[in-house]
Amino acid sequence: MAVKDSAPVRKVGERLDLLRTRKRTRDLSARVAELEDQVRECRLHHHRTAELVDVVTALLVPIARGDQEEVDRVLRDYTDGLG
């Protein structure tokens, strides 16, 4: 009896393995997509960070150093140099 029954049992086991593998593949695909989104979010900060650093170093610092006339000159030079 045991020998006769083993084939269907094995088939059920294989089917379960297949289902588990499919689910793992789906889960991993979703995880990869999520990680790609997270990488993208991080990369998108680079440009904004650079812009803010540029404003602080090339605009705010000279403004903080100068008198009122210098403030106007620094602002004019900074904005005129953007293209």
Q: Which is nearer to other proteins, 4 or 46 (CB)?
A: 46
Give me the residues that bind other proteins (CB under 8 A), please: 40, 43-44, 46-55, 58-59, 71-72, 75-76, 78-83
Cβ distance 59 to 75 under 8 Å? Answer: yes
In the complex, least distance from residue 9 CB atom to other proteins, rounded to whole angstroms: 45
User: In this structure, what token pair is assigned to residue 29?
Assistant: 């695909």
In the complex, least distance from residue 8 CB atom to other proteins, rounded to whole angstroms: 46
* Alpha-carbon gap, residue 81 to 62, rounded angstroms: 15
Q: Which is nearer to other proteins, 25 or 49 (CB)?
A: 49
Cα 59 from chain centroid? 29
In the complex, least distance from residue 61 CB atom to other proteins, rounded to whole angstroms: 13
Cβ distance 62 to 55 under 8 Å? Answer: no
